[in-house]
Amino acid sequence: MKPNMGNMLKQAQKMQQDMARVQAELAEESVEASVGGGMVKVVMTGDLSLKGITIDPAAMDPDDVSMLEDMIVAAVSEATRQAQELASRKMSAVTGGLNIPGLM
């Protein structure tokens, strides 16, 4: 049996449309990560856009700036991980688990 190229093309076009829809949805969804008992919070969208950083004034110790810097790095890293996981989950639903190079 020969593959139907017309059907394959339609399926590919639908997948492309679905992927574009999911990417637009990811831009609207956000994740939040906090570290240091909530002293540093980061909000990031599903398309990895950093939307905000909130720092509790109690975290601002002029004698230990490096601790605050470390908490910011940790919060941004965790938010990035969560956003990538969200994107991967949503894209996997569209691609049926296919690993398509260049996606997220």
Per-residue pLDDT 10s for the chain (104 aa) are 667 888 888 888 888 898 899 999 999 999 999 999 999 999 999 999 999 999 999 999 999 999 999 999 999 999 999 999 999 999 888 877 665 555 54
Q: Please give the model's pTM, rounded to 2 decimal places.
A: 0.78
**Domain ranges across the chain:** 5-95
Angle between helices 65-95 and 5-28 (to 10 degrees): 150
Residue 54: predicted pLDDT: 97
Please give the CATH superfamily to which domain 5-95 belongs. Nucleoid-associated protein YbaB-like domain (3.30.1310.10)
